[in-house]
Structures are given as C-alpha cells and as structure tokens.
Amino acid sequence: MWSGFVQEDLPAVKFALKSARPFVSARTISLVGASTLVLAVGACQQADKASAPQESAAADNGPSAKPGISASDGHFVLPVVAGRPGAVYFTVRNDGAAPVKLVGVHIEGAESAQMHRTDGGSMAAVESLDIAPGAQVEFRQGGLHVMAFGIEDSVKASGMAELTLTFSDGDKLSMPLRVETMGGDAGGDHGAMPGMGS
C-alpha cells in the first residue's frame, strides 16, 4: 500500500490525518457512549432478573405460616426394606391466639405423603388435624406420624430433606428433616413399616 509513498507526499498525508482526527474522535466518543448506555441498560435488566428469582426463592423456602405456628425436631426414618414407606416424626406447636387445622404434608424426595395414626395396633389415615391455641402435637412412633411413599434413591441416611405442612387457610410451614435409618423391625401388624407398630 505504501510502496508508492515518497517524501514529497508527507505534508499532504499529515494534513489528511490532522483533518480526519476530530471526525474520528467524535465518532469514537459517540460509539463508546452508545455502547456504555446499552451495557448499563443490559446490566440493570440482568440485575432485576437476578433479584426476582432470589426474592421468589426466599418466599418459597422460608416458613410462611402465620405467626405463632412452629415445628421442630424433624426426622425422616427410611424403611429397612427398599420400596416400603418411610416415616416422618416431628413436633408442631400453635402459640397463636386461634386454632389451626393441618390438612396436608409434603416431603421432599417422596412421591406422596400422608398423615396416619396408629392406635392399639391398627393404623388409619388422618385427613386433617386441629391444633388448639397453646397446644403442641407430637408426631412419633406408635401414634401420629407421616408416611412417605415412593422414596427417591437420592434420599440417603445422614442427609437432609424438607417437610412442608399445609394448613386449611393455605398457609404453609417448611422445616428440615434429618434422614435416618431405622434401628430395627417396627413389629406390629405393619411389619417393617416404621411408625406403624404399637
């Protein structure tokens, strides 16, 4: 390109470069400004999108039951024989001023879950449970308990799972569960199904 360039052409080249410089600078500034604006708008939109799922996750994961309802000491006992149901035990307390009705349970890592009551060696499903103000209800072996059906292979002893309680007004409360193995046969009419024996 520069093979034909000679010393005499130098002033003309300098003049051309000088006169082109303001145009290039203005154009460059204009492009940089536009790019910065586009990047800033994009970053704001990404920040909005990033904060929305975090807010949603916080709302989904945190306890959302009315004040005064609490649950504690949750553990998920795996069955001795794979494919059988497991059992969940915990304590729920109503320190509120009004009675509440527990109508549903969900266990992370199980296809379905159901409240049951064992009484005198027989077991029956519990559709709902009223909890009076100031009352504490224990879900324990040989009494009220939650059965977990279709337990996923990912649920392992020494791990954690989550129990979500649903109340009649739609409020929910989630709590962690320690995953454990059963120490021995539960006995009773229900064989190796934990929490089913008397």
Residues 61-117 have pLDDT tens digits of 444 556 799 999 999 999 999 899 999 999 999 999 999 999 999 999 999 999 999
C-alpha distances (whole Å) from 164 to each of 24, 38, 170 are 64, 44, 12
Q: What is the pLDDT along the chain (198 residues), one digit of tens a residue?
A: 444 444 555 555 455 445 444 444 555 444 444 444 444 444 444 444 444 333 333 334 444 556 799 999 999 999 999 899 999 999 999 999 999 999 999 999 999 999 999 988 899 999 999 999 999 999 999 999 999 999 999 999 999 999 999 999 999 999 999 999 986 333 333 333 433 433
Residue 186's nearest CA partner among 103, 114, 66, 84 is: 84
Residue 142's nearest CA partner among 115, 123, 167 is: 123
Q: Report the distance separating Cα 5 and Cα 16, nearest Å.
A: 14
CATH of domain 69-183: 2.60.40.1890
Sequence spans of domains, the chain: 7-61, 69-183
